[in-house]
Structure 1
Amino acid sequence: MKPKNSFTNTIEVNASHIDERNHVNNLLYLQWCIETAEDHWKKTTTPEMRDPYVWYVLNHNITYKAAAFKNDVLKVTTWVTKAEGVRSERHYEIIRPKDGKVLVEAETQWCFVNASTLRPTKIPEEIYTLFL
């Protein structure tokens, strides 16, 4: 279930997104998930909260359920489900609103890192509470 603090981007599929199989290239779904996560981070936090930190991906798990095609409009939604210590778990869903079809379900494990030292650091309470 998507929480109230989820975040959604809209993608309009164009010709550059289409591969030789005439559908959206699978790598683009992952790119859209990451971009939506980054947009969620930027929209929810202040520059003062963001600047001392960076997020690094530990792993991705993505399930492709259906294809998207040129001129489709897609909704990419993300939300954080868990954050403990230096790790955060973020989920994604990509749907095609015109038919309600779920195209992708994905999950990423992120590590919270001090931007100066590049060492993992505990997620501060002020950031944790914004997402959970």
Structure 2
Amino acid sequence: MQKKQNIFTYSIIVNASEIDELNHVNNTHYIQWVQNAAQKHWNILSSTHLNTKYVWVVLRHEVDYLAPAKLKDELLIKTWIGNSYGVKSERFVEIMKGSKVIAKAKTIWCLLDKTTMKPVRISEEILKVLE
């Protein structure tokens, strides 16, 4: 279930390097924006203490492309965290042009111990940060 709370947003303007032969943004850039949103949001929520102990990796991306983005479009990237359980956490992203959602994504992230690089259960300390 998507719970929309603690939404983080930022804006971008589509540049020429993101345009493909069909004259719209190539799908690989949407994935990059989804990952950038997660990283920017986590950097705001987390602390140096957490970042020295843990790292997140992607297990799965699901992306729905609803409408194209084109050169010089101003886009709003919105992200929020869904359910977190075991070693996994859901993150949702909407990419908007004006008031229209042009792409949406759900990503499943896995928490790793930064030293061993093995999955680690999400602690209460991290759950509080994610809420």
Cα pair 2:3 2:81 within 8 Å, conserved: no
Could you tell me which residue of structure 1 aligns to residue 112 of structure 2?
A: 113
Could you tell me which residue of structure 2 aligns to residue 78 of structure 1?
A: 79
Could you tell me which residue of structure 1 aligns to residue 129 of structure 2?
A: 130
Could you tell me which residue of structure 2 aligns to residue 52 of structure 1?
A: 53
1:29-83 CA distances to partner (integer Å, 9 max, x unpaired)?
1110101101100111111111111111111100000000111010111111100
TM-score (norm 1): 0.93
> Which ranges of structure 2 fall in alignment gaps of 5 or more residues?
none
1:103 positional shift: 0.7
1:95-117 CA distances to partner (integer Å, 9 max, x unpaired)?
012xx111101100111000100
> How do 1:25-104 and structure 2 match up within 5 A?
25-97=26-98, 100-104=99-103
1:1-23 CA distances to partner (integer Å, 9 max, x unpaired)?
66331111211111111111100
How many pairs align?
Answer: 130
Which amino acid is 1:127 matched to? I
Deviates most, 117-126 or 106-115: 117-126
Cα distance in structure 2, aligned partners of 1:51 and 1:39: 17
SS in 1 for 2:69: coil
Cα distance in structure 2, aligned partners of 1:4 and 1:64: 23
Cα distance in structure 2, aligned partners of 1:16 and 1:33: 17
SS in 2 for 1:19: coil
Cα distance in structure 2, aligned partners of 1:110 and 1:22: 32
Taking only aligned residues, the RMSD between alpha carbons, in angstroms, comes to 1.2
Which amino acid is 2:70 matched to? F
Cα pair 2:54 2:112 within 8 Å, conserved: yes
TM-score (norm 2): 0.94
Aligned-pair identity (%) = 42
